Amino acid sequence: MTPECEQVLDLVGEPLPAPLAAHAAACGDCRALREGFGALEAPPSSAPPALESARRLALAELAASPRPTPWWHELALLLAVDAAVVAAGLLALGRKGLVLNAAPAPVVLTLALLLLLVVGGGALLALAPLRRPRPWGALGLGVAGLAVAQVLCGSGLSHRPLLSGTLRCLGLEVGMSVAPLAVAMVLLRRAAFTPGRALAAGLSAAGAGLLVLHLHCPTGTVAHVLWGHVAPWLALAGLAVLVRSRMGSRSYAP
C-alpha cells in the first residue's frame, strides 16, 4: 500500500483533492474500494409499511405510559433491597451480637466499607445509563483484591467443623442473595444486555449477603471464608451473567 493509498483510505466517502483523485483513478485497489462503497449507496427507499407499524406501536406505548421513570429510581430500588437484606440478615442472625467477626476491628471495618463500596458501585455501574467506557478493569481488580483480602484477613478461628460450617454459610449467602438478584435481573431487562453490567449487578446483589456473613460469622479460617463466603459470592455473580444472557430485554437502551 503506497502513502497515496493510505490517504485515499482516510478519505473514503469524501471528495478527493486532484492529485489523490488522479492516483485513485490509476490504482486498481483504490478504485475498487471507492466504487464498492459507491455501489452500496442506493437512493433512499420509500418508507416500508413496517415503519408505520413501528410508529403506531411506539405511540401506543407512549400513550400508555406518558410519564418516564428516571433511571435512578431503579438504582434506589435495588439499593433499598440490598439494605433491607443486610438489616434483616444481621437482625435475624445476630441474637448473640451483630458483629461476631473476631478479626481486628480496623480490618473488619475496612473490609465492610469496601464491600459496601462494591454493593453501591456495582449497582451504579449496572443501572446507570453511562455511555462512556466504563471502568470494568478497575472493577475487576478491585473485586479480585477484595476477595483475596477477605480470605487472607480472617481471624483464623474455627467454631464448627469445616464442612458443616461452610455449607451453613454457603446456604445463608445464597438465601440472602435471592431477593436482590431477582430484583437486579428484572431491572437489568430495562437496558441492553452487556456481560459487564450483569456481572456488576450480580456482585452488588450477592454482596449484601457477603457483607452480613463478613460481619456476623465468627469462623475466620482461610478455607471457610474461601468456600463459604467468597466463592459463593463470585459464583452468584457469574450466575447473574448467565441468567441475564438468557433473558430477553424490554429495552435496548445503553
Partner 1 sequence: MARFCQGEAAAFDALFLRYSRPVHGYLTRVTGSAAVADDLAQLTFLSLVRARGRFQAGSRVKPWLYAIATNAARDHQRRGRRPEELTSEGELPSTIPADLPAPRDAGLERTVQRALAQLPEGQRLPILMHRFEGMGFAEIAEVLGLTESAVKVRAHRGYARLRELLAGLRDEVAP
Residue 142 makes CB contacts below 8 A (sequence gap 6+) with: 114, 117, 118
- For residues 68 and 161, which CB has a smaller minimum distance to partner 1 in the complex? 68
Q: How far is the CB of 48 from partner 1 (least distance, A)?
A: 6
User: What is the Cα–Cα distance from 18 to 66, expressed in whole angstroms?
Assistant: 55
> Quick one: 16 or 99, whose CB is closer to partner 1?
16
Among 47, 208, 191, which residue's Cα sits nearest to residue 122?
A: 208
User: Which alpha helices (H) appear in the chain, and where do they start and end?
Assistant: 3-10, 18-26, 28-40, 49-64, 71-93, 105-127, 136-152, 162-188, 195-216, 222-224, 231-246
**Which residues of the chain form contacts with partner 1 (CB under 8 A)?**
1, 5, 9-10, 12-13, 28-30, 32-33, 35-48, 50-51, 53-55, 57-59, 61-63, 65-71, 73, 129, 131-134, 190-193, 245, 249-254
Taking the complex as a whole, the smallest distance from the CB of residue 202 to partner 1 amounts, in Å, to 19
> Amino acid identity, residue 166?
T
Please report how close the Cβ of residue 143 comes to partner 1 at its closest, in angstroms: 21
Nearer to partner 1, 159 or 250 (CB): 250
Q: 37-55 burial string, b = 16+ CB within 10 Å, else e?
A: eeeeeeeeeeeeeeeeeee
Q: Amino acid identity of 112? A: A
The nearest distance, CB 236 to partner 1, in angstroms, is 23
Q: How far is the CB of 59 from partner 1 (least distance, A)?
A: 6
User: 71 or 88, CB closer to partner 1?
Assistant: 71
37 or 113: CB nearest partner 1: 37
